[in-house]
């Protein structure tokens, strides 16, 4: 018998209609000590799958469950969540919501469950220390859990679960709300856990980070397991759909090498970046270019704006300095002219990205310097007025949605501007169409998953019909399909002459869609140019903790002459090199 | 739906202890500090929007509608305990007002006063508001008189002063003041609470709240 | 329970002293005075006892004496700063309102105490003795209430208060909601600001007419409540997974001593209140 046995499980949430199943006839066994990844599109049933293991289904979520789930021989109908928590712990997506909220120090937070178990103080302390060390956060022990960053908070939550000493860890999208550093840390900790002691089920869309660590990868789509095997088997399966599973670049590269006859077809396909580089090494140029990698850049910064419809309403920032509490400087002398195309803003947390965004519509006013949007000085106009020129969409859709239907929600902005009914109808129609929300138009936004809700929030800003649109982290938590949709949206807005500013951690998105890429660091502009120019300077980017996209990094590690942004470009370069040398 | 009317039938027939136990789920417990927060933040937001009302009971009313009278009593009392810790201990006695309103609104919620199907149904909310006003005047007036001698130092004290100047008794002046000030505030609170509660999708409501609102 | 536990070099007893405060107006003031060392329940009993006495005896001199005593304790303990701040903000308007309104209009007013002559509009303004005495009575009662409770609050870490109360059989869930509410308020305030930003970016106008501003309140409070409800689901699961619903014994990381002296003080206070009550009834 396996540690976890899921036998012919079908589940329907009470609030779902009877003919819709969150999971349908799912059968799956997980062996002790294995590291299983679960992936698939949003709302496909991945979380529901995860909730079976700590007995949240059926003990917390009401609904109709058929089939059986047993963990270590115990039927989940026969246990309680409290009991089961000592066998299986679950880490959730939102780093802040899963803290108790009643602790003033991380020590109390991690010790909370142990206090409830009535363990002696000695043991509480030793277990707390042990789990803090496992999560690498001993230095946070005295901090207030409410004041941590997302990444830190997520690790405190993980430590709190580890302290209960479960043998199974279920992690439900643990990194989708974290920045790249936070994600990296969480993946590092989880992959370093002793595999003799832990069985890990990790649900994630981030296959690039996840795949190299896995023994097994399960794809869930539409409530069913569609693929189940080693990561290499699953990712190279010809039936895998791009929509459901974004195949990591190293795998794509490996497959191209095999189909083009460079590598023996039977050799295992590389999953990690390091393996891909190793396979490519023989075809790389033997001599490295003398100068920096930027020498080979073909397009200049100015060239990027060529051919774009310049907007009559642009943003001008003049030596903008922003201080809060009279001392902390969040922006220190930023001067920029933004006029057309898709401008992406990258940089580490604390680099000033959100402060920057809030300056664009006057939510924050510069301490020194000037921000003008069109001909409006942000200091002289109300936010509600500037909002007619610039639609700003914040990262968390839950901060803005409150209507009973998607349609009403999208209507809210245009109605505030008192446009006439006809125009409002048109704008709503257009926004619904662009974000593909037709079939959920009459649904409550909160009856959908967070990724789709994000699309509603974006639509509600697009419908304001502003000449400038600012999107904060639009792709966070989106699946492959959602990424594609948002990318298309940005492109279509740009071709309509809208200036689109995107604040993002997603370097792949920036690499694909940015006409201009600006890297911020410590409140200053670090780099400003085309994606190729900016990603071509990884050493400078490191100052703000940004790594170029994987394929660009592979190119750089191989010492290619020019910066590559796609797998196609990578192969084109390699072929040119091999022609030159051969 | 006919069954809606019967939703609370089992509840009405069960004993007090059973009812209270079934209301206090883990979700209800976690909701209590949230309601306290909303009570406190409501006051902050009226300042930001410069609305001349207190709106310091929205959280309690919401809790009564979403999680029932008993949970709301805990939330109401706790609000003023917490306010004693964060603003001023003079607010502590008014926890009794919150608790009384919580019981009244929770009782009305069980009776279906928050299930509204047509335009006329909003009269039910006006009814709820009237009850809330009565309950809060009846409970708060004695507190104002006995603890504060009729004068709390807020802007309403001026009104009380005017009544006293016309030769009214202390308790009459306080009650009259409350009846002048409370109705607008409480009607606004009840309606705002209803619209907020209604915008919460069913899957996120505690089981009590799935039956009490429509 | 006498052995000392440490974690990463910090004595367990000092953890709460060094912890970050939530940032409310009246936060716990770390310290090691006799007031800090008293059991929180003792402090509560004494506070409530003194308040009861002040309210039982209708003579402002009782309140005056108790206030002076309490003020001395607070000053000696060195925690008067936040207390003075609250007293100023709440106390000054209250004093002015009480003295003016009761001094002039208290229904029992008979004996003029001071007469302001030739005041414009009114010919003269008479301040009465009865009203002033009544105002003083109320003021000193409230002063006792504020000093006693504020003194308790600023010298008692909320966590210690809940542990002491749980040791007196308060349910652990009540302790949870109290601590969580204190922590949630600053957090929800931040959230409310984020929502305000997001809605302003969608055209919510904080300077529109009153009706629109009032309806805007729903646009601010609804997302706040809904997002808190969503987090409630996750938080409830996280709590249940950590033994929140478990019945029976619990251990506490922090030791809150309850000494014989504490017990003696509580009984003494109890006796005083009974004595005063009996004396009042017989009188």
Q: What is the DSSP string of A36-84?
A: EEEE-STTSSHHHHHHHTTTHHHHTS-EEEEEEEEETTEEGGGS-HHHH
User: Element (H or E) spanning A556, and its range?
Assistant: helix A550-557
Rounded distance between C-alpha atoms, residue A79 and residue A87, angstroms: 11
pLDDT given for residue A477 in this prediction = 84
Rounded distance between C-alpha atoms, residue C179 and residue B79, angstroms: 12
For C26, residues 6+ apart whose C-beta sits below 8 A from its C-beta are B85, B86, B87, C82, C86, C150, C153, C154
pLDDT given for residue A302 in this prediction = 41
Rounded distance between C-alpha atoms, residue A280 and residue A302, angstroms: 33
pLDDT at A431 over 80: yes
A328 to chain C, any CB pair closer than 8 A? The answer is no
Rounded distance between C-alpha atoms, residue C241 and residue C61, angstroms: 55
pLDDT band of A574, cuts 50, 70, 90? confident
- Give the nearest chain C residue to A87 (CA atoms): C241
pLDDT band of A293, cuts 50, 70, 90? very low
Contact B201 A444 (CB under 8 A): yes
Pick the CATH number of A304-547 from 3.40.50.300, 2.60.290.11, 3.90.1720.10, 1.25.50.20: 3.40.50.300
Rounded distance between C-alpha atoms, residue B79 and residue A77, angstroms: 38
CA distance B203 to chain A (A): 6
Number of domains in chain B: 1
C24 to chain A, any CB pair closer than 8 A? The answer is no
pLDDT given for residue C143 in this prediction = 96
Count other C-beta atoms under 10 Å from residue A129's C-beta.
17
The 3-state secondary structure of chain B, one letter per residue: CHHHHHCCHHHHHCCHHHHHHHHCCHHHHHHHHHHHHHHHHHHHHHHHCCCCCCCCCHHHHHHHHHHCHHHHHHHHHHHHHHHHHHCCHHHHHHHHHHHHHHHHHHHHHHCCCCCCCCHHHHHHHHHHHHHHHHHHHHHHHHHHHHHHCCCCCCCHHHHHHHHHHCCCCHHHHHHHHHHHHHHHHHHHHHHHHHHHHHHCCHHHCCHHHHHHCC
C233 to chain B, any CB pair closer than 8 A? The answer is yes
Point out the residue among A97, A361, A394 whose CB comes nearest to the CB of C234. Answer: A97
Please say whether the beta carbons of B81 and C26 come within 8 A: no
| Cis peptide leading into residue C70 (ω within 30°) | no
For A429, residues 6+ apart whose C-beta sits below 8 A from its C-beta are none
Q: What is the pLDDT of residues A546-556, one digit of tens each?
A: 999 999 999 99
- pLDDT < 70 regions, chain B: 1-7
Rounded distance between C-alpha atoms, residue A69 and residue B90, angstroms: 55
Chains with ≥3 CB–CB distances under 8 Å to A: B, C
For A289, residues 6+ apart whose C-beta sits below 8 A from its C-beta are A295, A296, A559, A561
Rounded distance between C-alpha atoms, residue C196 and residue C209, angstroms: 17
pLDDT band of A294, cuts 50, 70, 90? very low
CA distance B117 to chain C (A): 20
Rounded distance between C-alpha atoms, residue A285 and residue A304, angstroms: 29
Domain extent at residue B98: 2-212
User: Across the A/C interface, how many CB contacts are shorter than 8 Å?
Assistant: 215
Task: Decide: helix, strand or coil at residue A198.
Answer: coil
pLDDT given for residue A309 in this prediction = 58
Best residue in B27, B36, B37, B189 to probe C by mutation, most C CBs within 10 Å? B37
Chains with ≥3 CB–CB distances under 8 Å to C: A, B
What CATH class has A4-240?
Answer: alpha beta
* DSSP state at residue A288: P
pLDDT given for residue A14 in this prediction = 85
pLDDT band of C3, cuts 50, 70, 90? low
- Mean predicted confidence (pLDDT) in A89-97: 94
Count other C-beta atoms under 10 Å from residue A27's C-beta.
12
Provide the b/e sequence for C98-120 (b: ≥16 CB within 10 Å): bbbbbbbbbbebeeeeeeeeeee
Point out the residue among A143, A382, A446 whose CB comes nearest to the CB of C207. Answer: A382
A398 contacts on C by Cβ (under 8 Å): 223, 226-227, 230
Mean pLDDT value across chain A: 90
pLDDT at A301 over 80: no
Rounded distance between C-alpha atoms, residue A542 and residue A535, angstroms: 10
pLDDT at A307 over 60: no
Task: Decide: helix, strand or coil at residue A342.
Answer: strand
- Mean predicted confidence (pLDDT) in A39-53: 94
Domain boundaries, given as residue ranges, for chain A: 4-240, 248-300+548-582, 304-547
By CB neighbour count within 10 A (0-12 exposed, 13-18 middle, 19+ buried), where does B47 fall?
exposed
CA distance A292 to chain C (A): 42
User: Across the B/C interface, how many CB contacts are shorter than 8 Å?
Assistant: 202
Query: Which tops the pLDDT comparison, C123 or A233?
Result: A233
pLDDT given for residue A470 in this prediction = 96
Provide the b/e sequence for B1-17 (b: ≥16 CB within 10 Å): eeeeeebbeeeeeeeee
pLDDT given for residue A561 in this prediction = 85
pLDDT at A389 over 60: yes
C183 to chain A, any CB pair closer than 8 A? The answer is yes
The phi, psi pair for A490, rounded to 5°, reads -60, -45
Please say whether the beta carbons of A535 and A549 come within 8 A: yes
pLDDT band of A298, cuts 50, 70, 90? very low
pLDDT band of A318, cuts 50, 70, 90? very high
Q: What is the pLDDT of residues A243-271, one digit of tens each?
A: 778 899 999 999 999 988 888 888 889 99
Query: Which tops the pLDDT comparison, B155 or A452?
Result: A452
Q: What is the pLDDT of residues A114-171, one digit of tens each?
A: 999 999 999 999 999 999 999 999 999 999 998 899 999 999 999 999 999 999 999 9
Contact B87 C141 (CB under 8 A): no
CA distance B201 to chain A (A): 6
Chains with ≥3 CB–CB distances under 8 Å to B: A, C
B204 contacts on A by Cβ (under 8 Å): 446
pLDDT given for residue A296 in this prediction = 39
pLDDT given for residue A311 in this prediction = 59
Instruction: Write the CATH number for B116.
Output: 1.10.1760
How many residues in total does chain B contain? 214
Rounded distance between C-alpha atoms, residue B84 and residue B32, angstroms: 17
Which of A206, A194, A137, A136 shows the shortest CA–CA distance to A165?
Answer: A194
Contact B37 C86 (CB under 8 A): no
By CB neighbour count within 10 A (0-12 exposed, 13-18 middle, 19+ buried), where does C92 fall?
exposed
C210 to chain B, any CB pair closer than 8 A? The answer is yes
**What ipTM was reported for this prediction?**
0.91
């Amino acid at each position: 018998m396996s540690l976890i046995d899921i036998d012919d499980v079908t589940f329907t949430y009470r609030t779902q209609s009877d003919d819709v199943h969150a999971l349908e006839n799912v059968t799956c066994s997980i062996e002790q000590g294995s590291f299983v990844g679960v992936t698939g599109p949003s709302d496909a049933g991945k979380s529901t799958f995860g909730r079976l293991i700590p007995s949240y289904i059926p003990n917390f979520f009401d609904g109709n469950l058929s089939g059986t789930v047993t963990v270590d021989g115990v039927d989940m109908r026969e246990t309680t969540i409290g009991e089961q928590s000592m066998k299986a712990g679950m880490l959730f997506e939102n780093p802040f919501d899963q803290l108790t909220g009643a602790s003033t120090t991380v020590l109390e937070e991690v010790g909370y469950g142990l206090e409830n178990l009535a363990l002696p103080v000695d043991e509480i302390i030793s277990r707390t220390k042990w789990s803090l060390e496992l999560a690498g956060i001993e230095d946070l022990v005295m901090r207030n859990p409410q004041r941590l960053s997302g990444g830190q908070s997520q690790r405190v939550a993980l430590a709190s679960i580890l302290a209960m000493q479960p043998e199974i860890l279920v992690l439900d999208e643990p990194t989708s709300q974290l920045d790249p550093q936070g994600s990296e840390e969480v993946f590092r900790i989880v992959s370093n856990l002793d595999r003799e002691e832990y069985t890990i089920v990790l649900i994630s869309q981030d296959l690039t980070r996840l795949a190299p660590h896995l023994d097994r990868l399960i794809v869930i789509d539409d409530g069913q397991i569609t693929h189940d095997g080693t990561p290499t088997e699953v990712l190279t399966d010809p039936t895998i759909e791009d929509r459901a599973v974004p195949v990591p670049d190293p795998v794509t590269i490996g497959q191209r090498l095999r189909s083009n006859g460079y590598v023996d077809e039977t050799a295992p396909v590389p999953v990690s970046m390091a393996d891909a580089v190793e396979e490519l090494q023989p075809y790389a140029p033997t001599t490295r270019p003398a100068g920096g990698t930027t020498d080979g850049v073909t397009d200049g910064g100015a060239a990027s704006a060529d051919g774009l419809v310049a907007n009559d309403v642009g943003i001008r920032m003049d030596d903008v300095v922003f201080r809060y509490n009279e001392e902390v400087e969040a922006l220190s002398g930023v001067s920029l002219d933004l006029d057309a195309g898709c401008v992406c803003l990258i940089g580490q947390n604390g680099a000033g990205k959100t402060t920057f965004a809030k300056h664009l519509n006057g939510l924050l006013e510069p301490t020194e310097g000037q921000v003008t949007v069109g001909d409006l000085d942000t200091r002289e106009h109300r936010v509600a007025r500037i909002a007619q020129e610039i639609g700003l969409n914040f990262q968390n859709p839950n901060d803005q949605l409150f209507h009973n239907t998607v349609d009403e929600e999208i209507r809210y902005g245009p109605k505030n501007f008192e446009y006439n009914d006809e125009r409002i109808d048109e704008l709503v129609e257009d926004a619904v169409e662009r974000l593909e929300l037709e079939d959920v138009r009459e649904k409550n936004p909160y009856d959908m998953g967070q990724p789709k809700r994000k699309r509603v929030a974006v639509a509600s800003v697009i419908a304001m019909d502003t000449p400038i649109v600012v999107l904060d982290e639009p792709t966070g938590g989106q699946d492959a399909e959602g990424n594609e949709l948002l990318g298309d949206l940005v492109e279509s807005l740009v071709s309509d002459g809208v200036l689109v500013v995107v604040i993002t951690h997603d370097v792949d998105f920036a690499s694909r869609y940015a006409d201009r890429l600006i890297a911020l660091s410590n409140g200053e502009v670090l780099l400003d140019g085309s994606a190729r120019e900016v990603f071509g300077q990884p050493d400078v980017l490191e100052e703000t903790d940004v790594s170029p996209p994987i394929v660009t990094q592979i190119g750089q590690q191989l010492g290619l002459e020019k910066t590559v942004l796609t797998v196609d470009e990578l192969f084109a370069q390699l072929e040119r090199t091999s022609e030159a040398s051969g | 739906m006919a069954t809606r009317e019967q939703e609370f039938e089992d509840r009405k027939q069960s004993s007090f202890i059973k009812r209270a136990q079934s209301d206090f789920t883990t979700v209800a417990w976690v909701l209590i500090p949230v309601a306290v927060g909303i009570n406190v933040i409501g006051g902050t937001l009226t300042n930001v929007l410069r609305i001349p009302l207190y709106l310091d009971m929205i959280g309690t009313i919401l809790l009564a509608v979403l999680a029932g009278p008993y949970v709301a009593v805990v939330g109401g009392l706790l609000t003023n305990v917490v306010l004693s810790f964060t603003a001023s201990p003079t607010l502590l006695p008014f926890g009794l007002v919150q608790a009384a309103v919580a019981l009244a609104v929770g009782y009305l919620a069980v009776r279906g006063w928050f299930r509204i199907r047509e335009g006329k149904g909003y009269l039910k909310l006006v009814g709820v508001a009237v009850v809330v006003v009565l309950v809060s005047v009846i409970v708060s007036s004695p507190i104002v008189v006995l603890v504060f001698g009729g004068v709390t130092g807020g802007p309403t004290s001026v009104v009380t002063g005017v009544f006293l100047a016309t030769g009214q008794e202390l308790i009459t002046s306080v009650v009259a003041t409350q009846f002048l000030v409370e109705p607008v505030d409480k009607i606004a609170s009840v309606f705002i609470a209803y619209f907020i509660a209604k915008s919460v999708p069913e899957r996120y409501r505690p089981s009590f709240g799935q039956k009490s609102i429509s | 329970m006498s052995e000392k536990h440490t974690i990463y070099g910090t004595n367990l007893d000092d953890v709460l002293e060094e912890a970050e405060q939530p940032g409310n107006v009246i936060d716990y003031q770390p310290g090691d005075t006799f007031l800090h060392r008293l059991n929180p329940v003792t402090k509560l009993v004494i506070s409530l006892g003194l308040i009861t006495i002040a309210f039982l005896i209708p003579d402002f001199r009782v309140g005056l004496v108790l206030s002076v005593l309490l003020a001395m304790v607070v000053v000696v303990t060195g925690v008067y700063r936040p207390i003075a701040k609250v007293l100023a903000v709440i106390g000054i308007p209250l004093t002015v309102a009480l003295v003016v309104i009761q001094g002039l209009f208290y229904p029992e007013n008979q004996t003029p105490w001071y007469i302001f002559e030739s005041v414009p509009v009114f010919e003269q303004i008479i301040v009465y003795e009865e009203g002033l005495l009544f105002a003083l009575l109320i003021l000193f009662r409230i002063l006792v209430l504020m000093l006693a409770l504020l003194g308790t609050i600023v010298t008692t870490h909320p966590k210690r208060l809940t542990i002491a109360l749980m040791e007196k059989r308060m349910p652990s869930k009540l302790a949870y909601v109290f601590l969580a509410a204190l922590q949630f308020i600053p957090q929800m305030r931040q959230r409310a600001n984020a929502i305000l930003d997001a809605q302003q970016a969608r055209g919510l106008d904080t300077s529109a007419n009153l009706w629109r501003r009032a309806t805007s309140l729903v646009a601010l409070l609804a997302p706040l409540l809904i997002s808190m409800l969503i987090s409630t689901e996750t938080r409830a699961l996280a709590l249940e997974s950590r033994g929140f619903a478990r019945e029976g014994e619990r251990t506490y990381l922090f030791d809150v001593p309850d000494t014989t002296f504490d017990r003696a003080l509580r009984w003494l206070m109890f006796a005083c209140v009974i004595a005063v009550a009996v004396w009042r009834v017989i009188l």
